[in-house]
Amino acid sequence: MADRDASEPPGPAAAAELRNFLSEVPAPAAVGHRIVHGGPHLTGHTLIDARVRALLADVADLAPLHVTPALPLVDAARELLPDVPHVACFDTVFHKDLPAQARTYAVPERWRAEYGLRRYGFHGLSYSWALQRTAQALGRPVDNLQVVLVHMGGGCSACAVRNGRSVDTTMGLTPLEGLVMSRRSGSLDPGALLWLQRRHGLSTDELADALHRHSGLLGLSGTSGDTRDLVRARAEGDAAAALALATFTLSCRRGIAAMAASLDRLDALVFTGEIGEDQPEVREEICSALTVLGVRGGLLVPELEDLMREGLRRIDQAGRGVPVLVVATGETQQIAAETRRVLGM
């Protein structure tokens, strides 16, 4: 299969890049699109038509880093391939049955009923893939597993899965809540935002730009949002890099422990995402300080090439505690599976 990967968000040239790619490969039977936020009305993976496209535009401001740049590509693909079905695959679908207590914010009823303020959760396509692989690795059915899944990449979140269903997650109304991320702040005191507005006159746009693009690991280190850079810098004595990594790994441990509180037992801790795949130092620092959950350090370090080829590895020392697994990120494969399922292929 031919592929093209881009490290930057889609820009004005993306439509031309897509056109060039399609000119080089056989015509596809269908197109699957990853859409981060489905909002309140799109609660299942679905064919994209005029109604769905309008609903996507309506929720774009809930995930401005993701949905807003995705929509021009959806439009370009539909224009270039008008005779094949296009399917929207949502990260929010995995969490659509969150229990009321897990999805509800403690805010006035009007905000919840009229404005639709609630927790949605994200990284669902990654979690769907990782959950199936975990069940295979442990030789147990999905509906008999209680696990904490952790997706660590540019965005980071954790999720509690009980018997195949998401029952809690760290991200909320938007992908900004929860764990410290590469450039996103994760959770912080809402009073701090009010204080910054009132005391220092920061505008909504200034806050949004800072929290989405200049916070997280980048904001803490002042140099990079990439854990690989920070691990190297810490080894060279960079105190800001050390603080960034310590804050990040503590945030991850907090999130994992919070998710475990929604389970009766912990059958496995599962890492996925770019950091989860290829940053053994981060995995070790998280797990070695989670003994309260029965998780132990001293993790095995698989070669990244082997992990990507095999798709998963169990990395805990057998018999020493809760199983710890690494699953190669499978969002693309999950989109393909969901697209086929929607189309009955």
User: Would you write out the chain's pLDDT as a tens digit for each of its 345 residues?
Assistant: 788 887 777 878 888 889 999 999 999 999 999 999 999 999 999 999 999 999 999 999 999 889 999 999 999 999 999 999 999 999 999 999 999 999 999 999 999 999 999 999 999 999 999 999 999 999 999 999 999 999 999 999 999 999 999 999 999 999 999 999 999 999 999 999 999 999 999 999 999 999 999 999 999 999 999 999 999 999 999 999 999 999 999 999 999 999 999 999 999 999 999 999 999 999 999 999 999 999 999 999 999 999 999 999 999 998 889 999 999 999 999 999 999 999 998
Tell me the pTM: 0.96
Instruction: For residue 17, count CB atoms less than 10 angstroms from its CB and return exposed for 0-12, middle for 13-18, buried for 19 or more.
Output: middle
Q: Do 20 and 14 contact (CB within 8 A), yes or no?
A: no
Which pLDDT does position 4 carry in this prediction?
A: 81
Tell me, yes or no, if 3 is annotated catalytic.
Answer: no
91, 168, 238, 316: the catalytic one is: 91
pLDDT score for 330: 95
CA distance 297 to 282: 11
Whole-number Å distance between alpha carbons of 149 and 176: 18
Burial zone of 181 (CB within 10 Å; 0-12 exposed, 13-18 middle, 19+ buried): buried
pLDDT at position 325 is 98
Residue 96's pLDDT is what?
A: 96
Q: pLDDT at position 1, please?
A: 73
Name the pairing type of β-strands 146-152 and 268-272: parallel
- The pLDDT value given to residue 195: 98
What pLDDT, on a 0 to 100 scale, did the predictor assign at position 292? 96
Q: Give the Cα separation of 271 and 25 in Å (integer).
A: 34
How many Å apart are CA 302 and CA 315, to the nearest integer? 8
**Which pLDDT value is given to residue 345?**
87
Tokens of 182: 């590469």
Which residues, in sequence order, are CB contacts of 182 under 8 Å at separation 6+? 153, 154, 155, 156, 216, 217, 218, 225, 226
